[in-house]
């Protein structure tokens, strides 16, 4: 069996590299800022838990509950536990499925492995994970 070894001038290289990495890590940790503490600000979030049904002609969504937190607008947190159902028409054409969500502004297009959501804030694109 043939053995391979580093030339003499490179034999100390792994140890030197390890030393440089340790020194760099110590240098970085010594310079790191302390970020402990409490950060304040106002919050905005809207969370919805729903079930849905999609057919060739209709998308139906039932909101089971939602939580709306708008501290920025000066409002209290709103918990909505009333189940609401709304339906919207679906357009299916050439492998595309298109509809507007009944409770939220975005319109959705399912095409191949992508979902494209278009709303007042712009466009979001998601791809299916294999």
Given a cut of 70, is residue 63 above it in pLDDT? yes
What global pTM score does this model have?
0.60
Contacts of 80 (CB under 8 A, 6+ apart): 63, 65, 66, 67, 68
Which pLDDT score is estimated for 119?
93
Query: In terms of Cα–Cα distance, which of 86, 99, 24 is closest to 56?
Result: 99
Residue 38 confidence (pLDDT): 79
- Termini Cα distance of the chain: 44
Q: What's the pLDDT band for 13 if we cut at 50, 70, 90?
A: very low
Give residue-wise pLDDT tens across range 79-103. 999 999 999 999 999 989 999 999 8
Q: Which of 97, 90, 102 is nearest to 116 (CA)?
A: 97
Report, as an integer, the average pLDDT of 52-73.
95
For every residue of 4-47, DSSP letters joined together read: ----GGGTTHHHHHHHHHHHHHHHHHHHPPP--S------EEEE
DSSP 102: S
What confidence score (pLDDT) does residue 130 get? 85
How many angstroms separate the Cα of 129 from the Cα of each of 95, 114, 115, 123?
19, 10, 12, 19
């Amino acid at each position: 069996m043939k053995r391979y070894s580093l030339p003499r001038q490179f034999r100390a290289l792994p140890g030197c590299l390890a030393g440089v990495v340790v020194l760099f890590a110590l240098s970085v940790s010594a310079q790191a800022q302390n970020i402990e503490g409490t950060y304040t600000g106002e919050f905005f979030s809207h969370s919805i838990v729903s079930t849905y049904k999609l057919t060739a002609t209709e998308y139906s969504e039932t909101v089971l509950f939602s939580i709306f937190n708008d501290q920025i607008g000066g409002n209290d947190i709103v918990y909505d536990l009333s189940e609401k159902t709304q339906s919207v028409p679906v357009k299916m054409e050439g492998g595309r499925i298109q509809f507007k969500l009944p409770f939220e502004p975005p319109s959705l297009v399912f095409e191949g492995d992508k979902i494209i959501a278009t709303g007042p804030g712009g466009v979001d694109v998601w791809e299916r994970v294999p």
